[in-house]
Every structure is written in C-alpha cells, then in structure tokens.
C-alpha cells in the first residue's frame, strides 16, 4: 500500500492524470441515471467540465443489445469518452468492457455505489460493498479485459457498521484501478442526511490514486470545503448540476459568477438544451425526457407564485413550439424582459463573454 501525502487546498482548475490520460481540470460531472444522458453531458463538456461520465450501464443488458443501455452508453461527439458499467457477474462485466472500449471509450468506470433498491436487489452497485472479495473479482475481470484506464465509484460502506471504503480502495488500487470516487454517504443513507466528507480521509490514507469526493457539492464553495475535509484531489458534482450543466465549469473556475448569473437568466440556454434533446430522442420522447431538466432550470429562477399554472402548462405540453413559447413567458416573469433565441445557440460562447 502506498500512502499519499496531504497536499492542502486543491486547485480544481489544474489538470489531473488518470492512468496516463491527462484530464483538463478537477471538477467532474457525476454519472446520474435519468439525468446525464448524451445531450446533458455534451453541454457540461462544452461549458468546461473536466470529465463527464455516462449514466450507469447495466452490463448484461448492454451486451444483450438492449436499446436503453445503448442510449446510456452513447458518447458520440464527446472528445473524452467515459462509460460507467454496473453488474455482478464477471462474464458480463468483462464483455461489456470490451464492447464499450471497441466503441471508443477511453475510460471505464465501475459502479459500486448506486443505492437504488432495484440495483442492490440485483446484487450490483453498493451491494458489492458487502462482499469485497466478490467485488474484487469484478474489478480484476474488467481491468484484464481492456487496455484503457479503469476507475471505481463507491460509497463509504453499506452502513455505519461496515465503513469499508478504505479497504476496497486499497485492494482496488492493487488490482489496477486508476482513480477512486467516493460518495460520502453509506448505502443505507441513500441521499439523506449530510455527506460526511471527513470520513473520506481514511480512503486518502489507503491509496495514492487520484481521489474524487462526491456528495452535497453544489457550488465552488462546497467543492473546496469537501476537498479540504476529505483531502481529495477532485470534486464531483451530482445533484448540484440539476438545471445547471455549467456547474462543474463554475467549480473549476472556467466560468465566473457573473457569467453563471447570465446563464441562469438566459432562456436561450434552456431552449438550446431542449432542442438538443428533441434532436437526439425525436420530438415526442424528447419532450417527455426534457421535462425534468426544464423544471430544474426554472427552479433556479425563483419564479413568483402566480406563475405556477403556467409552469404546469409547460411541463404537460406535448407541442414543442408551445414548450418554447411558455419557457420564454416564464423567463420573462422572472426577469421582466427576455430575448428570444433565434436558431441554435452555442453555449460555449459564454466562455468568451
């Protein structure tokens, strides 16, 4: 076991090396099922996120050709392609790893942190933290199947009586894992309570790999505090990026506060995201898939109570032009003025503003 030295306050704008691959900064977008689809990841990347990781891909279903898993694993158009795999059997994990590598994945992340009952009942995700010997067989299977770096995402443990993240991290490093991410809660906490960033220090002491802290990071201030408390090298933003695909870039210092305030108030940004989802999924499915994202954008506007009916109209509309028109009305209600978006807007333009 190699012991890492405490480095103090991290510069999240600096590159970090993952298995020989240089990543441009240390603010990552977390993989989130039902959220970090390809349109969302492409936006976060354009704004300046260091890494954007696919939704969790069920290995057996993916190898079996399930269409939903193909969508989740899609990285087309991203310069840095990272796919997260989940599963509980060596054969499917290794086969899925081979397939995603052949499709262009440059990093493969293994999920041992998902707390959902469906995943855990299938003995995947954070259920694997109850049997580290079995977890290691999966890690070995994936590492030996591919030539690209393999990383690992976990929780602190199954519950507070089995906080074994440090042991898993140490054994994973010996097995060839190149980066460790820890969500600072146990599985039994789900997303309740407060993330215990300090508890990740035990993981820091067990490995010299790049260490990523995840959980309750919602802005640059919480990112710095989490990294200092955990002694992690990297901050990973999950729910803090709801309605804010620019948040990792803000945390990394690629965007400043003034630019972010403009982004929040600018309807062109949510309209661009909406149009990208229509293009990717088709109009009917795209409208349904976009509703949660549009709701999160509106949450950041602090709309007055009298707009609630209009908001409900937006989130039940089935006509894409009606969605756009209603969005503009709502932004106008929040700000008092707006400019309609003419055609496609490149969100990366904000970086030069």
Helix boundaries (H) for 18-130: 38-47, 59-63, 67-73, 90-102, 117-121
Residue 75 annotated among the catalytic residues of the structure: no
- Catalytically annotated residue among 114, 188, 227, 351: 114
Helix boundaries (H) for 161-282: 165-175, 201-206, 220-230, 247-252, 257-265, 267-281
339: number of Cβ within 10 Å: 10
Number of continuous H segments (helices) and E segments (strands) in the chain: 15, 11
* H or E, element range at 182: strand 180-183
The structure tokens listed for 124 are: 């995947």
The structure tokens listed for 313 are: 């109209």
The structure tokens listed for 230 are: 């955990």
Q: At 238, phi and psi to the nearest 5?
A: -110, -100
Cα gap 177→32, rounded to integer Å? 21
Bridge partners (DSSP) of residue 107 are 82
Give, as one character, the DSSP assignment of residue 54: P
Q: What angle do CA 139, 143, 20 make, to 5 degrees?
A: 125
Mind giving me the DSSP string for 132-163?
Answer: HHHHHHHHHHHHHH-SS-EEEEEES-SSTT--
* H or E, element range at 325: helix 320-335
**Token pair 């400019």 is at which residue?**
339
- Contact (Cβ atoms closer than 8 angstroms) between residue 149 and residue 177: no
What is residue 314's three-state secondary structure? helix
Bridge partners (DSSP) of residue 236 are 28, 214
Catalytic residues: 114
């Amino acid at each position: 076991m190699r012991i890492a030295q405490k480095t103090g306050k991290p510069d999240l704008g600096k590159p970090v090396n993952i298995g020989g691959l240089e990543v441009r900064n240390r603010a990552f977008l977390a993989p989130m099922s039902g959220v970090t689809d390809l349109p969302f990841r492409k936006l976060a990347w354009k704004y300046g996120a260091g890494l954007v990781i696919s939704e969790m891909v069920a290995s057996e279903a993916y190898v079996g050709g399930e269409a939903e898993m193909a969508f989740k694993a899609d990285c087309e158009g991203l310069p840095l392609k990272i796919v997260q795999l989940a599963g509980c059997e060596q054969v499917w994990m290794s086969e899925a790893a081979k397939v995603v590598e052949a499709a262009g994945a440059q990093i493969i992340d293994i999920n041992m942190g998902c707390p959902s009952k469906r995943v855990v009942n299938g003995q995947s995700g954070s259920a694997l933290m109850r049997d580290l010997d079995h977890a290691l067989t999966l890690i070995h299977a994936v590492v030996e199947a591919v030539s690209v770096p393999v990383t690992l995402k976990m929780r602190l443990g199954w519950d507070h009586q089995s906080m074994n993240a440090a042991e898993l991290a140490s054994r994973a490093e010996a097995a060839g894992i190149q980066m460790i991410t820890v969500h600072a809660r146990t599985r039994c906490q789900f997303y309740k309570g407060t993330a215990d960033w300090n508890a990740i220090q035990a993981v820091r002491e067990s490995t010299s790999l790049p260490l990523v802290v995840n959980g309750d990071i919602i802005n640059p201030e919480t990112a710095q505090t989490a990294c200092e408390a955990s002694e992690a090298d990297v901050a990973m933003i999950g729910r803090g990026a709801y309605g804010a695909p620019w948040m990792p870039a803000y945390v990394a210092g690629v965007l400043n506060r003034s630019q972010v305030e403009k982004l929040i108030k600018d309807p062109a940004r949510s309209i661009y995201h909406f149009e990208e989802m229509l293009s990717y999924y088709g109009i009917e499915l795209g409208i349904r898939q976009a509703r949660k994202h549009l709701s999160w954008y509106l949450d950041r506007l602090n709309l007055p109570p009298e707009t609630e009916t209009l908001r409900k109209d937006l989130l039940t509309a089935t006509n894409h032009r009606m969605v756009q028109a209603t969005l503009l009305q709502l932004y106008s209600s929040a700000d008092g003025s707006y400019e309609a978006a003419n055609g496609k807007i490149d969100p990366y333009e904000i970086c030069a503003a």
